[in-house]
Amino acid sequence: MKKIIPVIVAIVLIIIVVIAGFGAKLLEKYSYSDERANLEEYFGITSTDDVPIIMQDAQVEEYAKIWDGVCYFDFATVHKYFNDRFYEDKKEGLLIYTTPDTIIRTTIGTSEVSTSKGETSNEGYIIARYDGDILYVAADYVKKYTNFSYELFTEPYHMQVYTEWNERQVADIKKDTQVRYQGGVKSAILTDISKGDTVVVLEAMENWTKVKTKDAYIGYVENKRLTNQRAEEPIPVTDYVEPVYTSISKDYKINLVWHAVAGTAGNDTLTELMSATKSVNTISPTWFALSDNQGNITNFASQDYVTKAHDMGLEVWALVDNFTNEGVDTYEVLSSTTTRTNLINQLVDAALEYDLDGINVDFENISLDAGEPFIEFIRELSIPCRANGIVLSVDNYVPLGNTDHYDRAEQGLVADYVIIMGYDEHYKGSTEAGSVASIDYVEKGIANTVAEVPANKVINALPFYTRIWETTGSTVDSQAVGMEMASQYISDHNIETRWDETTCQNYGEYQSGDTLYQVWLEDAESIQVKLNIMDKYEIAGVAAWKLGFEVPSIWDTIESYVNQ
């Protein structure tokens, strides 16, 4: 017996050790970790002035900055999330914001603001500042012109931003607990929350729920710690109310034709060229063009012309372009507030001097870097036009390819009419012969435009010209001719034409030696199909390039569209 007892004791001790070890492992597995997360790593903070942004219910990749107790967003973040109407003039060191009736400017690095109405104020903080070559704008200043809310938290700095206030799911905490980085008792603690706190419920799982705390930590709590889950309607912030952009809208379909005037003598052709037209109510003479990089313009305007046009029942929307005069850099003109203002003043002064009814902006081949200066030009030009009852219309390429920087949606808000130049599908420099304006091309242009611009502001322009194509091997060339000359060309070369269902145009060709000659005609039939599409989208009217290139009978076709 004495020999057995030590064996029994040893076995019991072994069992106790095994049980203790197993219990320790169970305790280690199921006990709650006290490890706290490194919050700088959690938020991705790499600098003491970084402010992580929680936008709605998720952290975004951008960071705000905190300087002198003021929170700032970089300019790209302002445009991306809040308001793309802020404009940075890098040349003159200005931050500009344009409303329907005034231009608000601040010199970057200062706290002072001035307006085009002569008003001045002081915000009491640096409104905009550079960090290296990156512009930052104070959140409070952005908030003056944008409807959003933000709350700033410390230790470490981070911020909650709301731009929308949709219904959300919330729940109450029924016992003091922790929010952990991931679901699981061993995950590091992000923050502590107390009984009675309310959290936003983001995603429910079997045992854990992803939540956001009132101080914008996003992590996980155990389901058993949540109670009273419910839907909640947040109270929206309405600190800023968007201003209303008033527009001039005619109570008739626009029937505009451009009149190519290359000098003052060209004004004398108005009466003759208009004699065969019908139902035209708007004429746009090509009177103005950028002449240098200081924002000056050449001017062929004529008071006698305007008087004659008015006597004919025509409104005069004089055109300004950026391509007639060589050596002009559109970016250089528009990116400087001084030169941009000079250009606007000259255009508006001319409109008032000559009693013009409108200004038609035809700026083409705008580079990507000139996109923002261009739309700022349109915003600023719209102010005196709006104040003086001058119609502002803007010409645009068919919106296919990389032309988003023309910002048609903003044009549609601040301008009165957006005109689609519904042609040049194939043009002088094209590498293959083709239609100037096939029906699919025209319809896509209209459909894509009315997706961004109200249909009652959209005008589609038709071509009164045809291109005669010559293809020899890989060499392609063409010349643009008016309707009468195209018809004569068909007759002179005994070309048999046929209706092409793909383009909805009469097509003809002939071979001479190694050269293939091709034409896709613009005539009454092709124009009618285009007008049918325009009627389908219920747009504001029609324009045409150019006066004198048409045959008189085409006006009967257009008149039927305008009067229906």
Which CATH number goes with the domain that contains 202? 2.30.30.40
Q: Are residues 226 and 338 in the same domain?
A: no
Burial of 328 (0-12, 13-18, 19+ CB in 10 A): buried
Residue 141 is predicted with a pLDDT of 98
Q: What is the spatial distance between Cα 262 and Cα 214, in angstroms, rounded to a whole number?
A: 67
Coil, helix or strand at residue 254: strand
pLDDT, tens digit (0-9, with 9 covering 90-100), for 288-301 = 999 999 999 999 99
Residue 249 falls inside a structural domain: no
Asked whether residue 398 is domain-assigned, the answer is yes
Q: Which strands, in side-by-side order, build the sheet including 198-204?
A: 189-193, 177-180, 218-222, 208-212, 198-204, 168-173, 226-232
Over residues 253-259, the mean pLDDT reads 98
What's the domain count of the chain?
3
Residue 291 has a CB neighbour count (10 Å cut-off) of 17
pLDDT of residue 21 exceeding 60, the answer is: no
Per-residue confidence (pLDDT) for residue 16, from 0 to 100: 64
Is residue 30 a part of any domain in this protein?
A: no
Same domain, yes or no: 217 and 291: no
Q: Are residues 381 and 455 in the same domain?
A: yes
Cα–Cα distance, 337 to 103 (Å, whole number): 11
Q: Which residues contact 259 (CB under 8 A, 6 or more apart)?
A: 266, 269, 270, 273, 283, 284, 285, 286, 546, 547
Q: What is the pLDDT of residues 429-441, one digit of tens each?
A: 999 999 999 999 9
| 223 and 370 part of one domain | no
pLDDT computed for residue 3 by the predictor: 63
For the entire predicted model, the pTM comes to: 0.93
With a cut of 50, say whether residue 107 has pLDDT above it. Answer: yes
The CATH number of the domain where 544 resides is what?
A: 3.20.20.80
Q: If you write DSSP's letter for every residue of 189-208 in order, what string do you get?
A: EEEEE-TT-EEEEEEE-SSE
Distance (Å, whole) CA 491 – CA 153: 80
Both 351 and 308 in a single domain? Answer: yes
SS3 annotation, 398-429:
CCCCCCHHHCHHHHHHHCCEEEEECCCCCCCC
Q: Is 513 domain-assigned?
A: no
Is the model's pLDDT at 27 over the cut of 50? no
Q: What percent of the chain has pLDDT over 90?
A: 93
Predicted confidence at residue 9, as pLDDT, reads 62
Helical ranges in 312-370 per DSSP H: 330-334, 337-353
pLDDT of residue 525: 98
pLDDT 10s digits, 490-500? 999 999 999 99
**Per-residue confidence (pLDDT) for residue 2, from 0 to 100:** 61
pLDDT at 361 over 70: yes
Name the band, by pLDDT with cuts 50, 70 and 90, for residue 24. very low
Same domain, yes or no, for 185 and 69?
Answer: no
Region 115-135 average pLDDT: 98
The range of the structural domain enclosing residue 174 comes to 165-232
Residues 389 and 439 in one domain: yes
Q: Are 290 and 322 in contact (CB under 8 A)?
A: yes
User: Is 487 within a domain?
Assistant: no
**Nearest residue to 337 via CA among 372, 386, 367:** 372
Cβ burial of 56 (10 Å; 0-12, 13-18, 19+) is middle
Are 279 and 319 in the same domain? yes
Taking CA atoms, 438 is separated from 104, 186, 403, 425, 510, in Å, by 44, 66, 20, 8, 21
Residue 238, pLDDT score: 87
Q: What is the largest CA-CA distance in the chain?
A: 137
Q: Is residue 274 part of a domain?
A: yes
Question: Torsions phi, psi of 373, nearest 5?
Answer: -60, -35
Q: What is the pLDDT of residue 170?
A: 98
Q: Are residues 114 and 137 in the same domain?
A: yes
Mean per-residue pLDDT of the chain: 95
Per the model's pLDDT, the better-predicted residue between 353 and 237 turns out to be 353
Whether residues 145 and 177 share a domain: the answer is: no
pLDDT digit string, tens, across residues 76-103:
999 999 999 999 999 999 999 999 999 9
436 and 533 housed in the same domain: yes
Answer yes or no: are the C-beta atoms of 293 and 338 closer than 8 Å.
no
Q: Give residue 26's pLDDT.
A: 46
Predicted confidence (pLDDT) per residue in 145-189, tens digit:
999 999 999 999 999 999 999 999 999 999 999 999 999 999 999
End position of a domain, from candidates 125, 153, 181: 153
Are residues 437 and 463 in contact, defined by beta-carbon separation less than 8 angstroms? yes
Last residue of some domain: 133, 153, 173? 153
Cα dihedral 494, 544, 532, 401 sign: positive
The reply to whether 377 and 301 lie within a common domain is yes
Instruction: Indicate whether 73 belongs to any domain.
Output: yes
